[in-house]
């Protein structure tokens, strides 16, 4: 079935297809229409779930944690300050090994007060032990939503499904919605191993001594590593059943490339067009889309960039005092590569607070990467009003 859906509606429909059982959420622009649509779907009986209205994002995630601990498939959604308010429980969900799926509609952090997109809200949660998938299109949102529950439930870690504010959340596209029975085959009901069980009562999340805490961290980290292969496998499986795969990263026209631009999320679509234009002109340039930020696909990135002379990394985020966050991750991944294969890497910051990333933005980055005479290696601000 195809429908014209906004990115937010797509999230809701994906969650419905995944048959989430408990949804606890608090509204915040630009996320609001996700939970409005879910509330409608629950109200209309299309989704059999408990929809819990709560008084804050902190409570929303707490509600999900309780429900997940009881063995329910749970979902919540938020943005920016809402995600920040959840932070304490973001850790809790992961160390509690609860496979909650959260849709974060990327919104820049205030102040100044803003509702437009950039990635600092979700990237601030880098070290919380959540998987993070950045989506390029509404179709990818749909497919990733369904995959997210499966991956989460296998590795027993929570997943953040990330989409750009407005560029996806409020933009409508034709989306292929998998049939419910097909999704049911792909994603069977959730069976939690470690859950509240009245016949076998036990205490959860209790005081953990110095003799054992580090071991829980080890297990969490190992699960994150396992998630790399699980994500790959689930994506392949999904592709077999529904005909679409995304990979953890996606190289686009990278054959014999002199230079590669690395992008994430909706900026990728714009970059594809620009790469096509450069290739049509006979220029050897390519594109690497990073879809999975956590766990970081280090090997896949190394493989894609190995031997490429120049790499420009577009970051729609900023780690103040260091630079782009994806650039930081990629540089760290390349550090121990043999020098002759290791590319020159240039960092670019663009599109913060929802500023458009246009074909001109991409052109400028490609130009500055291919002709780096006046380019800073570490950090370049694009379209800065200086």
Q: Is 156 near other proteins (CB under 8 A)? A: yes
Q: Give the residue, chosen from 4, 216, 243, 299, that forms a contact with other proteins under the rule CB under 8 A.
A: 216
Per-residue contact string for residues 167-206; x = within reach of other proteins by CB under 8 A:
--------------------------xx---x-xxxxxxx
Spatial CB neighbours of 185, under 8 Å, sequence gap ≥ 6: 241
Half-sphere exposure of 342 (CA within 13 A, CB side): 11
Please give, one letter per residue, the 3-state secondary structure of 229-242.
Answer: HHHHHHHHHHHHHH
The residues near 114 (Cβ < 8 Å, ≥ 6 apart) are 107, 108, 353, 354
Q: Which is nearer to other proteins, 181 or 211 (CB)?
A: 211
For the chain, report the end-to-end CA distance as a whole number of angstroms.
Answer: 49
Q: CA Rg, the chain, in Å?
A: 21
Q: Could you tell me how many residues of this chain bind other proteins (CB under 8 A)?
A: 23
Among 127, 179, 182, 215, binds other proteins (CB under 8 A): 215
Lookup result for tokens 């979902």: 75
Q: According to CB under 8 A, which one of 219, 241, 341, 371 is a site residue for other proteins? A: 219
Is position 218 an interface residue for other proteins (rule: CB under 8 A)?
A: yes
Query: Could you tell me if 57 and 28 are in contact, meaning their C-beta atoms sit under 8 angstroms apart?
Result: yes
Q: Name which position in 95, 160, 301, 308 contacts other proteins (CB under 8 A).
A: 95
Instruction: Provide the residue count of the chain.
Output: 386
List 208, 225, 236, 241, residue binding other proteins (CB under 8 A): 208
Token pair listed for 166: 């407005």
Q: Which stretch binds other proteins (CB under 8 A): 74-82, 115-123, 138-146, 207-215?
A: 207-215
* Distance between CA atoms of residues 304 and 279, nearest Å: 18
Q: Which is nearer to other proteins, 217 or 371 (CB)?
A: 217
Is the distance from CB of 142 to CB of 176 less than 8 angstroms?
A: yes
Residue 224: CB minimum distance to other proteins, A: 12
What residues are paired with 168 via a beta bridge? Answer: none
- The residues pairing with 216 across neighbouring beta strands, listed in sequence order, are none
DSSP 55: S
Burial of 97 (0-12, 13-18, 19+ CB in 10 A): buried
Q: Is 332 in the site for other proteins (CB under 8 A)?
A: no
Residue 252 CB, nearest distance to other proteins (Å)? 37
Residue from 96, 99, 129, 286 that binds other proteins (CB under 8 A)?
A: 96
130 or 246, CB closer to other proteins?
Answer: 130
Considering the rule CB under 8 A, would residue 211 count as an interface residue with other proteins?
yes
- Of 9-17, 216-224, 340-348, 354-362, the segment contacting other proteins by CB under 8 A is 216-224
- 226 or 344, CB closer to other proteins? 226
| Interaction site with other proteins (CB under 8 A) | 95-98, 156, 193-194, 198, 200-206, 208, 211-212, 215-216, 218-219, 223
């Amino acid at each position: 079935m195809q429908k014209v859906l906004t990115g937010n509606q797509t999230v809701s429909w994906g969650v419905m297809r995944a048959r989430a059982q408990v949804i606890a959420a608090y509204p915040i622009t630009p996320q609001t229409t996700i939970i409005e649509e879910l509330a409608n779907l629950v109200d209309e009986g299309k989704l059999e779930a408990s929809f819990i209205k709560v008084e804050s994002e902190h409570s929303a995630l707490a509600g999900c944690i309780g429900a997940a601990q009881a063995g329910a498939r749970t979902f919540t959604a938020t943005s920016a300050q809402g995600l920040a308010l959840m932070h304490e429980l973001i850790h809790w969900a992961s160390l509690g090994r609860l496979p909650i799926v959260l849709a974060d509609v990327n919104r820049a952090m205030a102040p100044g007060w803003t509702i437009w997109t950039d990635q600092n809200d979700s990237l601030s949660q880098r070290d919380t032990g959540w998987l993070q998938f950045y989506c390029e299109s509404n179709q990818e949102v749909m497919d990733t939503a369904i995959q997210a529950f499966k991956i989460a439930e296998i590795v027993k870690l929570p997943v953040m499904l990330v989409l750009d504010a407005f560029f996806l959340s409020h933009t409508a596209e034709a989306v292929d919605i998998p049939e419910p029975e097909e999704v049911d085959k792909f994603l069977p009901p959730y069976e939690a191993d470690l859950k509240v069980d009245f016949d076998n009562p036990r205490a959860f999340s209790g005081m953990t001594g110095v003799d054992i805490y580090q071991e829980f961290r080890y297990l969490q980290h190992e699960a994150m590593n396992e998630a790399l292969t699980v994500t790959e496998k689930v994506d392949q499986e999904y592709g077999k059943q529904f005909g679409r795969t995304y990979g953890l990263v996606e190289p686009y026209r990278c054959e014999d490339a002199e230079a590669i631009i690395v992008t994430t999320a909706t900026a990728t679509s714009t970059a594809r067009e620009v790469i096509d234009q450069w290739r049509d002109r006979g220029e050897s340039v390519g594109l690497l889309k990073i879809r999975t930020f956590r766990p970081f696909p280090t090997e896949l990135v190394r493989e894609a960039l190995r031997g490429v002379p120049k790499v420009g990394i577009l970051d729609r985020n900023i780690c103040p005092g260091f630079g782009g966050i994806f650039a930081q991750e990629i540089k760290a991944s390349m550090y121990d590569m043999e020098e002759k294969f290791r590319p020159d890497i240039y960092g670019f910051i663009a599109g913060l607070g929802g500023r458009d990333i246009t074909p001109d933005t991409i052109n400028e980055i490609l130009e500055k990467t291919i002709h780096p005479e006046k380019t800073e290696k570490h950090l370049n601000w694009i379209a800065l009003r200086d």
